[in-house]
Structure 1
Amino acid sequence: MAINSPLATQVLMISLVFASTLPAAGWCAESVKPNVFIAATGGTIAGTQANVEQHGYTAGQLGVASLIAAVPQLKDIAAVTGEQVMNIPSQDMNDAAWLKLARRLEELEHSAGLDGIVVTHGTDTMEETSMFVALTVDTPKPIVFTGSMRPATAVSADGPMNLYNAVAVAGSAAARSCGVMVAFNDQIHSARYVYKTNTTRPDAFQSVDRGPIGTVDTGQVDIFGVCAAGTASPAPKVPIADIHELPKVEIIYAYAGMGRDLIDAAVHAGAKGLVIAGVGDGNITNEALAGLRDARAKGTVIVRSTRVVSGFTLRNAEVNDDTEGFVASSEFKPSKARVVLQIALLKTSSLSEIQKYFDTW
């Protein structure tokens, strides 16, 4: 994989300094290394700075070949190949990008001779994309999302180690029943539980209500908890082959003195569902509640979530969901609740069924 541009050469040299601290992974004692595929989508891990002393950077500047070349120790733990599926900052992820990525991952999942998949992705919407993939892609092989909080040209860039560890997880036999995961800052998280919790720190990703499902330390993979027993990964809730477009679902943030204008505007714009990032246990003002009642009367599905960083949104707490015809998001915070509702609406309009999905997915 040739590195032709001066910028890519600079990134490779910087990354090699940090990559030199990575040992050959002791866990890979097998004579045949696993085959791991890297599906690159852009993000900070592929970002560069004009000046390494500046905080700002441009995401999605480097291709998958540069990412792989920057961590030569990958060859010690896996036979790695890759593809540039897209190259965008993750704030630009949208339904079309999700569908494109998920369809490609579904193809890779059924590729002979492939043991695991790594998806490099921007951190801003990684929690949403990984959740979408978990709900739509069959995962007999591990799919491991990773990225970085610092661009490739930064002092002490975290991308090389995150990529190294993600490849180790994707190639690990212990991870084969874990479905879609996020490997970040030496921890392994389920896509269902993980959220970005800090704007800049390398430990930004946390499973706030559940905790990680494992750890990975310079390639040493330790899976515990939910998938350690080795049971089969769950089937997709709606197979990606059956999805042609996604219903319009909006998130509306609650605050002191909240009115109903944004609720009315979302319904007028054609929203099939609304996720309310409510205060406390999913509460809203009386005026906003009146707007939600009118939205529900027009057929819009209302899901109460919370703007609070941790904790569950319980049914019939704060608001009488049975009376109002609302759905409680359970442990899903607004970003994931939106994805769950989009997929649920592809299956049913029954509120009881949708509530069951939130409680069990």
Structure 2
Amino acid sequence: MRFSSSLVAISTAVFANGVTAASNSSLPRVSIIATGGTIAGTNSDSTSTTGYKAGSLGVDALIEAVPALSNISSVSGIQFSNIGSQNMNTSLLLRLTKLATNVAANGSADGIVITHGTDTLEETAMFLDLTYNESLPIAMAAAMRPSTALSADGPFNIYEAVALAGSKEAADRGVMIVLNDRIGSAMYTTKTNTRAVDTFKAAEQGYLGVFNDEVPVFYFEPSRVYKKPFFDVSGVDALPRVDILYGNIDMDVRLLNYSVSSGAEGVVIACAGDASLPDAWADAAQAFTEQGIPVVRASRTGSGYVAPADDTLTSGNFNPQKARILLQLVLNEHGGKNSTLIQEYFDPYLS
């Protein structure tokens, strides 16, 4: 069965005629929302993990590839999109969070799995975690090897994600990322390696749990990221443009000026070290922030806390790509004039 990419059509089709992989009513009901990515990728060479076509397989094929799902769940599938995650965009993110909320509110599932490409998985996961306000768990599944590769990791990642989404222990834990037998928080987990299957890590915060076969084992009771905000985007069709600029020796401040003059409503700078900036950049960033176009300093190092500063906004625990998602949502809700309020979103310990 194929599903329309329209949110209304998707909801009607899946709730009326959901693709079911298991009919045992005693099993948890899990809705798999497929967006594409390597997990749905194919290649003519089974020994190659590059040069494949992402998003070649539909959600039906993903479910059929894991027949053991019928032992742990009653699965339905929704084909939301079928793209490489480098082509994910804000419009799709807004539709995706509305769809997930719709599935949760409809009562047709006990948990949700979203399959996704790894390149921008952490951004989608964080966006969902900030805009999805239901207790029904969401597990994000992905793969580092295409489905046609020897020892492809996608099928088992889907299996564990379905087990997690169907677990009562997973409720009220926010959006989670599942790869390589690990369970990570959407807010802090990030891709750290271009090829390795254990690429997704949270260097400072650690994992939420692991799997014992298909059983998720959590290290902590259900908890929320400290003062994690919720942004209601149910009536939102577009978000403010926020650019990311990369810091380096000889970085030209004209890049920041151009970004703002060409329409950016906010800017995140992936700075060197502890988010340091050349004097000219720091002056320009402060000036734009005072004009209501917030400039946030993050670090390009990959991990570590960026402390508040007197002259510019800083990203706290968030890397540049996650800081961009948060700034978009804050700007949409509050605008860019109140820099003190914006800083409190990045560093809630201040409030």
Shorter-normalised TM-score: what interval?
0.7 to 0.9
Are 1:39 and 1:120, in contact at CA under 8 Å, matched by a contact in 2?
yes
**Aligned residue number for residue 70 of structure 1:** 65
Q: Distance in 2 between matches of 1:292 and 1:357?
A: 18
Please tell me whether residue 165 in structure 1 is matched to residue 160 in structure 2. yes
Please tell me whether residue 333 in structure 1 is matched to residue 319 in structure 2. yes
**Aligned residue number for residue 47 of structure 1:** 41
Q: Distance in 2 between matches of 1:278 and 1:232?
A: 25
Are 1:117 and 1:143, in contact at CA under 8 Å, matched by a contact in 2?
yes
Among 190, 214, 234, the residue aligned to 2:185: 190
SS of equivalent to 1:169:
helix
Shift of the alpha carbon at 1:346? 1.8
Are 2:188 and 2:205, in contact at CA under 8 Å, matched by a contact in 1?
yes
> Residues 303 and 236 of structure 1: is their aligned pair in 2 closer, same or farther, counting only changes over 3 Å?
closer
**Aligned residue number for residue 238 of structure 2:** 245
Partner deviation per Cα, 1:116-169 (whole Å, 9 max, x = no partner): 000000000000001001111122100010110000000110001100000000
Shift of the alpha carbon at 1:113? 3.9
Q: Distance in 2 between matches of 1:235 and 1:277?
A: 23
Q: Distance in 2 between matches of 1:188 and 1:88?
A: 24
- Extract unaligned runs of 5+ from structure 2: 3-23
SS of equivalent to 1:240:
coil
**Aligned residue number for residue 92 of structure 1:** 87
Shift of the alpha carbon at 1:273? 0.6
Q: Distance in 1 between matches of 2:78 and 2:184?
A: 24
Are 1:138 and 1:235, in contact at CA under 8 Å, matched by a contact in 2?
no
**Aligned residue number for residue 16 of structure 2:** none
Amino acid at match of 1:183: V
Shift of the alpha carbon at 1:240? 2.4
Partner deviation per Cα, 1:225-246 (whole Å, 9 max, x = no partner): 2xx1478999862112132210
Are 1:64 and 1:83, in contact at CA under 8 Å, matched by a contact in 2?
yes
Amino acid at match of 1:137: Y
Shift of the alpha carbon at 1:355? 1.1
Partner deviation per Cα, 1:151-203 (whole Å, 9 max, x = no partner): 00001100011000000000011110101110110000110110000001110
Please tell me whether residue 354 in structure 1 is matched to residue 342 in structure 2. yes
Are 2:227 and 2:348, in contact at CA under 8 Å, matched by a contact in 1?
no
Superposed counterparts of 1:215-226, under 5 Å: 215-225=210-220
> Residues 289 and 73 of structure 1: is their aligned pair in 2 closer, same or farther, counting only changes over 3 Å?
same
Are 2:25 and 2:74, in contact at CA under 8 Å, matched by a contact in 1?
no
Superposition RMSD in Å:
2.1
Are 1:258 and 1:287, in contact at CA under 8 Å, matched by a contact in 2?
no
Are 1:260 and 1:290, in contact at CA under 8 Å, matched by a contact in 2?
no
Q: Distance in 2 between matches of 1:103 and 1:327?
A: 30
**Aligned residue number for residue 139 of structure 2:** 144
SS of equivalent to 1:189:
strand
Q: Distance in 2 between matches of 1:100 and 1:359?
A: 28
Superposed counterparts of 1:11-22, under 5 Å: none
**Aligned residue number for residue 15 of structure 1:** none
Partner deviation per Cα, 1:35-88 (whole Å, 9 max, x = no partner): 000000000000001222333201000000000000000010010111100110
Shift of the alpha carbon at 1:112? 1.5
Please tell me whether residue 35 in structure 1 is matched to residue 29 in structure 2. yes
Among 168, 171, 176, the residue aligned to 1:176: 171
Please tell me whether residue 266 in structure 1 is matched to residue 228 in structure 2. no
SS of equivalent to 1:313:
coil
Among 306, 330, 335, the residue aligned to 1:344: 330
Q: Distance in 2 between matches of 1:57 and 1:221?
A: 31
Partner deviation per Cα, 1:79-125 (whole Å, 9 max, x = no partner): 01111001100000111111111111110111214110000000000
Superposed counterparts of 1:308-319, under 5 Å: 308-316=301-309
Are 2:137 and 2:173, in contact at CA under 8 Å, matched by a contact in 1?
yes
**Aligned residue number for residue 15 of structure 2:** none
> Residues 161 and 123 of structure 1: is their aligned pair in 2 closer, same or farther, counting only changes over 3 Å?
same
Shift of the alpha carbon at 1:302? 1.0
Are 2:113 and 2:141, in contact at CA under 8 Å, matched by a contact in 1?
yes
Shift of the alpha carbon at 1:296? 2.9
